[in-house]
Amino acid sequence: MGFIDIAGGPVNGSNIAIDARGNGTIMTAADLGLLFPLNIAQVWRASASNGTAKFMINSVRQINTFALAPQFGGLVIGQVADSAGKPLAVGSGVYFGEWAPRAAGTPPSDSTNLNMSSGSRTVWYVGDNPVTATPNLSNVTYNVIGIRQTGEGANLPATPNLYNGVLTANYVAGGSSNTLAGNLSRTGDTTVAINATINSTGQFTGDGVQGRFYNNAAALAGIYTGGGTAATNIAFGGSRSN
């Protein structure tokens, strides 16, 4: 088993490539700081906002079949950003997104298909500074976005069709109504209800939802898997708005 350094690997490498050559360009091994000549992936970047919350989204489509190269497959990385739209720095970063294996066969050099229709598609979240002791939260609201099946149909990596929502958190140690509740909605899809229980260690679970608070509960990220299929799973994240 291995791991990906999200900020230092696909995010940094794709940003270097995009800054140099534009959205939809090819990220090379040199963009990742590697010495061998190899085209790694096609990459895109998009910004987003919901209320006061801002985000950056990097999408990566693997275009090589070399076994020793990074195996990114189709990877979409949502990042909670600060008020200026800059992703939170390493040490306080909050990430969420989706992944699918590279499609079989020889990858085309130019395509927006990230293979997110795959039955092996998965959603994920992670952060650098997780809350481990939940603070008191009284009607605390979070403006969030949700990511689902980027690259399918008109949901393009450069202009993703995102879910938007407001989630309200209430927590008191030992309380009986410690909940995170709200809705996620986007054009053309059924609204998804979020109704999870917050525990004492900074996490929330229930009704197909799993997630965590970060940065002293200034941000959160999680996944919804209550739709029953890989295609309906959603990754979401956001920042506190009050």
Nearest to 151 by CA among 103, 106, 211: 103
Q: Where are the alpha helices (DSSP H) in 11-104?
A: 12-21
Rounded CA-CA distance 165/68 in Å is: 40
Q: Residue 167 is part of a domain; what is its CATH number?
A: 2.40.160.90
- Whole-angstrom CA distances from 128 to 88, 144, 201 are 10, 18, 15
**Can you give the pLDDT at residue 2?**
53
Q: Pick from 85, 105, 127: which residue ends a domain?
A: 127
Domain membership of residue 2 (yes or no) is no
Range of the domain at 205: 137-240
Distance from the first to the final alpha carbon of the chain: 40
- Whole-angstrom CA distances from 199 to 63, 83, 183, 212 are 42, 28, 20, 10
Domain membership of residue 166 (yes or no) is yes
Rounded CA-CA distance 218/141 in Å is: 10
**Can you give the pLDDT at residue 1?**
37
**Can you give the pLDDT at residue 151?**
98
Nearest to 234 by CA among 140, 121, 158, 153: 121
118 and 145 together in one domain: no
- Number of folded domains that form the chain: 2
**Can you give the pLDDT at residue 103?**
87
Print burial letters for 132-164: b (CB count within 10 Å at least 16), e (below 16).
eebeebeebbbbbbbbbbbbbeebbbeebbbbb
Strands (E), 133-218: 137-147, 163-171, 179-184, 192-198, 203-206, 209-214
123 and 219 together in one domain: no
User: Are 39 and 106 in contact, with CB atoms under 8 Å apart?
Assistant: no
- Whole-angstrom CA distances from 96 to 78, 124, 143, 173, 201 are 5, 6, 14, 27, 20
- From the centroid of its chain, how far is CA 211? 12
Domain membership of residue 132 (yes or no) is no
79 and 36 together in one domain: yes
Per-position pLDDT tens, the chain of length 242: 356 789 988 999 999 999 999 999 999 989 988 888 889 999 999 999 999 999 999 999 999 887 766 678 999 999 999 999 999 999 999 999 999 999 888 899 999 999 999 999 999 999 999 999 999 999 999 999 999 999 999 999 999 999 999 999 999 999 989 999 999 999 999 999 999 999 999 999 999 999 999 999 999 999 999 999 999 999 999 999 99
**What are 105's strand-pairing partners?**
none
Q: Where are the alpha helices (DSSP H) in the chain?
A: 12-21
| Sequence-distant (≥ 6) Cβ neighbours of residue 230 within 8 angstroms | 118, 119, 120, 121, 122
**What are 146's strand-pairing partners?**
163, 236
Q: Pick from 127, 149, 168: which residue ends a domain?
A: 127
- pTM comes to 0.96
